[in-house]
Structure 1
């Protein structure tokens, strides 16, 4: 991962239309699908709303230190941050032996937190693969004492426990000889030997096919697309290749170059590479109406394990982030960085358990919901569902419980049908007053972090 300003980082719309007209005919055609077919392909992902990101690799052995000295920056970037030569960095693979790796436990932790899918790094920027790739020895099977594929057992366990399995893949590769360091002091952003670019593109496509064949991910989550040598046309080539291999596959926007803003974009007459946007380390203030998106975020300051990073977000912050993201129509992808031995840090497990306790009571207010239809929610956040009979069901997530016991919901012209607390199902008195709905609440909030009221409103005439 790399922190980038959000208008660039989640650069939603992935278009190739800025390419010169000459040569477009040679660019592969994106498989056609109707809006209904796209909705069916995206359905599980849209309903899931909450997933686990896992950044794991040989950098986890270093844990943020090199030759006994702490290295600044995020843990998985240590090869770049410490400017470690390729041959020296290889020593970490020789120490990568995750004897405490328990895929069933990892999936249990995610499931108990209320997460519906897992996205794990199959290959990060250092090029090291957590699966058995036949086109390189720089993988866990050939270069580490572990000697076995790490992804397939996790994929199998996800399916056994009912979670969706997905993989991350970096386009930038600090190890592959086709790419070379951007400067004497850093790998990022890499450059490429022009005569070897096609070689690398085929290498990448082969590895992606290997992933599909070995562990069958439902999402391919790309990153590392920012070096100048990688183009919109390259992203389109990869996207088309993968969708032809697996038509149901969902692919994020970083498979292409994306855009720095949303100006001038018109979905009716432009084609885009990628299925969802990826804001990083923040939640867009107003969401991204009409666009599928997912906000990825760390629990502390780093993605990969770093032993001295103790700047953990509170469970309250993380729970409210889940709510905030859903209230704006997005998914929340929350990261853990396991150690080199294969354990998820206790601080992460504790916070995930706290989220899980909240989700077990209030999960229906997150899963399968849509963005809030309310113009403002000064008391917290709102998510919504449309029931088969047309009823608008609102979930009012109250962060600040009113001292006078009266909650006012502004901007609704429909008539309220009923309201109840999710915590215990008890009814809440509700009445309409013009375009306001007034609810009389108990004196004490059921949950100090976020109490949820389910409010059903008759459809407008």
Structure 2
């Protein structure tokens, strides 16, 4: 992924925000179906590799301008004996995730799959095809499968030394290197990944930046190859040309994303603590309640959330990551229908609240707990029933189709006509984010 220490302009160039497509770049042919992606809404991202052993960020080799020889100390000791793809898949499913994406190759060039094009793989190092284990485990739990593939490769001898390369500022900058040979290598590996592991649902390329644009990757040709091999696959936007969906990174959109006035599919990708790979001394973890809020914010704006974990050097999730996912799982077990298959609503939520909608059900997510009454503008005459989603308990309400009588003490006098007023308990429900399910009825509530 993008090194978070880079400047905003570099991050933007890699596709973090939604760039206007260049006028000479045609939009890609859409995949066969995007319905599964919009239904899923929540996915797991897994960053694992040799950098996990360094335990100080996945960009460690670049940050410390480490030679290949120095970095190979991790290769010689790589032993992911605690990498349990089946347990990871169960954890993802229980957390409410419907798809998962694994780093098949990160910027250091180390591959977690069996490649005939390089010896720099987990198979040669340990005898284990970790991509195979991941794919089989996720499918067994009913999850869709995605592959992350880095366009950068600091191990390949033909990848030219640039601003991100660990050997920048050394004699390696003067070595003859041929990006055409590197492009052929990339195409060969993409062919291996998309033909050797069955149907793959999503391909997450990473990333394009000022020193290497779409021409460096042969972006159009690479995308055509992907479409030829897997016509229904979703491809992200980081080849430097428009993709099937856009990928804001460590940034949470607060409105639906558009290109040329048309809404686009999008997926916000976020870390638990600011690092994608395992970072032992980084304790800046997001609170589980904040992560649930980010998930709901994504759905309310028509997007997905891809939440990352970085297993340790031995392949296990660290205790804080496990605890965070357990908390999210507890919330998801009770509230998943406000997320899966849901999307934005045309209704305007009250302050400190978010709406998601699924058919005739409107879900009100309460970011702050009100005192007894909650006023919902424009919903009078449009709600048949209201209940808390966590326990199915009824919530009573009153409708304000017209101004209330002068001495009506049951509803506040200051609310405008058309307001629906819910009567809530004083005590906030003991869940990460309370959700009220409103069953809609009447005009203007069609799905």
Q: Which of the residues 19, 24, 37 maps onto 1:45?
A: 37
The answer on whether the counterparts of 2:65 and 2:168 sit within 8 Å (CA) in structure 1 is no
Describe the SS at the equivalent of 2:37: helix
Unaligned runs of 5+ in 2: 401-416
- Check 1:222–1:313 CA distance in 2 against 1; reply closer, same or farther (3 A cut): same
The answer on whether the counterparts of 2:356 and 2:362 sit within 8 Å (CA) in structure 1 is yes
Aligned to 1:263: none
The answer on whether the counterparts of 1:191 and 1:229 sit within 8 Å (CA) in structure 2 is no
- Check 1:184–1:130 CA distance in 2 against 1; reply closer, same or farther (3 A cut): closer
Aligned to 2:385: 418
Superposed, 1:25-424 pairs within 5 Å as 30-31=28-29, 38=31, 41-64=33-56, 75-142=57-124, 144=125, 146-182=126-162, 186=166, 196-216=178-198, 217-231=200-214, 234-254=218-238, 256-257=239-240, 273-288=242-257, 290-386=263-359, 391=360, 393-403=361-371, 405-412=372-379, 415-424=382-391
Q: Which of the residues 392, 414, 427 maps onto 1:444?
A: 427
* CA deviation profile, 1:199-231 (whole Å, cap 9, x unmatched): 111111110111112224211101122153332
* CA deviation profile, 1:50-92 (whole Å, cap 9, x unmatched): 111111000111112xxxxxxxxxx110000110012321221
Deviation at 1:279, TM superposition (A): 0.7
The answer on whether the counterparts of 1:179 and 1:193 sit within 8 Å (CA) in structure 2 is no
* CA deviation profile, 1:139-177 (whole Å, cap 9, x unmatched): 1122x2x12211111101111111111110010111111
Distance 2:246 2:147 in 1: 16
- Check 1:331–1:110 CA distance in 2 against 1; reply closer, same or farther (3 A cut): same
- Check 1:30–1:298 CA distance in 2 against 1; reply closer, same or farther (3 A cut): closer
Distance 1:155 1:366 in 2: 24
CA RMSD of aligned residues (A): 2.6
Deviation at 1:192, TM superposition (A): 11
1:17 aligns with 2:9: no
* CA deviation profile, 1:417-455 (whole Å, cap 9, x unmatched): 211111221222233323322212233222353111111
* CA deviation profile, 1:241-296 (whole Å, cap 9, x unmatched): 10111111011111x215xxxxxxxxxxxxxx311111111211223151111111
Aligned residues: 414
- Check 1:192–1:311 CA distance in 2 against 1; reply closer, same or farther (3 A cut): farther
Deviation at 1:234, TM superposition (A): 2.5
The answer on whether the counterparts of 2:55 and 2:312 sit within 8 Å (CA) in structure 1 is yes
The answer on whether the counterparts of 1:192 and 1:229 sit within 8 Å (CA) in structure 2 is no
The answer on whether the counterparts of 1:60 and 1:304 sit within 8 Å (CA) in structure 2 is yes
Describe the SS at the equivalent of 2:33: helix
The answer on whether the counterparts of 1:14 and 1:274 sit within 8 Å (CA) in structure 2 is no
Distance 1:366 1:159 in 2: 21
Unaligned runs of 5+ in 1: 65-74, 259-272
Distance 1:183 1:426 in 2: 58
Describe the SS at the equivalent of 1:180: coil
- Check 1:411–1:172 CA distance in 2 against 1; reply closer, same or farther (3 A cut): farther
The answer on whether the counterparts of 1:191 and 1:228 sit within 8 Å (CA) in structure 2 is no
Describe the SS at the equivalent of 1:91: helix
Distance 2:326 2:224 in 1: 39
- Check 1:337–1:195 CA distance in 2 against 1; reply closer, same or farther (3 A cut): closer
* CA deviation profile, 1:321-378 (whole Å, cap 9, x unmatched): 1122111111111111001111011100100000000010011001010113233431
- Check 1:174–1:457 CA distance in 2 against 1; reply closer, same or farther (3 A cut): same
* CA deviation profile, 1:393-434 (whole Å, cap 9, x unmatched): 21001122211x111122447622211111221222233323
Distance 2:174 2:230 in 1: 29
Aligned to 2:412: none
- Check 1:274–1:192 CA distance in 2 against 1; reply closer, same or farther (3 A cut): farther
Between 207-216 and 294-303, the greater mean CA deviation after superposition: 207-216
